[in-house]
Structure 1
Amino acid sequence: MASIRREIQVAAEPERVWDALRDVGRIHERLVRGFVTDCRLEGDARVVTFGNGMTVRERIIDVDDTQRRVAWSAEGEPFSHYNASVQAFAESDGRTRLVWIADLLPNELEPQVAGMIDQGMVAMKRTLEQDQGATG
């Protein structure tokens, strides 16, 4: 099974970052603008449309306010298995460290998914820091 782990530092307060991260139906507005262009909730899942046009149904597994962690799984093609999480950690000087971990099959999708996660992290940093500057 392919496993991908990425982390970034964000110049934004952990409480504000968590508030955006836990808003699982509005990630296209509050967390990863541009990387995700649309997101809608359907029961315990969200349908996510990415900037490249790909649409994926993601079941929300957990929104953990204590650990500041959101976990989800992707359903259907091209994956036979996909689960991921993003967790926010308080750092010094009001900064936040974000850790995104994804496990997936088939292994051959790792380069494509890793590239998308890298793009998502860039969008996350940009969105959260812009919003922090505008409101903080």
Structure 2
Amino acid sequence: MASIHKDILLEAHPDDVWAAVRDFGAVHQRLAPGFVREARIDGEARIVTFANGTVARELLVDCDEPRRRLVYAVVSERVKHYNASVQVTADGDRRTRLIWIVDVLPHAIAAYIDAQMEQAALAMQKALGRHAA
């Protein structure tokens, strides 16, 4: 299984970043606007339309408030397995470290997912605060 890790530094308070991450239905407005064009809630899932036209059904697995950790899975014909976690931690007084991990199968799709995560990280930095270093 491919495991892709992104460690994103943001010039924003962790409370503000967590508020955006945990707002599962507003990913297109608060967390990654521009990269995500539209999102709507459908039961415990969100249907997400990305800027490139791809549509994904993302199932909310867990939203752990004390740990500031959100976990979701993608249900798709294109992927055999897709599980993601996003965790928000403080990095000093006003900076945030957003740790995003995606485990995916088949391996052949990992390069595509990695490139998409890079674009999403840029959108997050723009929406929430620029990369610190």
Shorter chain as normaliser: what TM range? over 0.9
Cα distance in 1 for partners of 2:76, 2:116 equals 18
Q: Deviations over 1:79-118 (max 9, x none)?
A: 0110001110011131000011000110000100000011
- Map of 1:42 onto structure 2: 42
TM-score (norm 1): 0.93
SS of equivalent residue, structure 1 residue 126: helix
- Map of 2:95 onto structure 1: 95
Cα distance in 1 for partners of 2:51, 2:77 equals 18
Q: Deviations over 1:30-85 (max 9, x none)?
A: 00000000000001000000000000001000111111011000001210110001
Residue identity opposite 1:54 in structure 2: T
Residue identity opposite 2:44 in structure 1: D
Cα distance in 1 for partners of 2:93, 2:11 equals 9
- Map of 1:23 onto structure 2: 23
SS of equivalent residue, structure 1 residue 94: coil
TM-score (norm 2): 0.95
Cα distance in 1 for partners of 2:77, 2:128 equals 30
Cα distance in 2 for partners of 1:4, 1:65 equals 23
- Map of 1:14 onto structure 2: 14
Segments ≥4 residues shifted beyond 2 Å: none
Aligned length: 130
Residue identity opposite 1:99 in structure 2: I
The share of aligned pairs that are identical, in percent, is 44
Aligned CA RMSD, in angstroms, stands at 0.9
2:85 matches 1:69? no
Cα distance in 1 for partners of 2:47, 2:63 equals 17
- Map of 1:112 onto structure 2: 112
Residue identity opposite 1:62 in structure 2: D
SS of equivalent residue, structure 1 residue 79: coil
SS of equivalent residue, structure 2 residue 8: strand
Cα distance in 2 for partners of 1:32, 1:83 equals 19
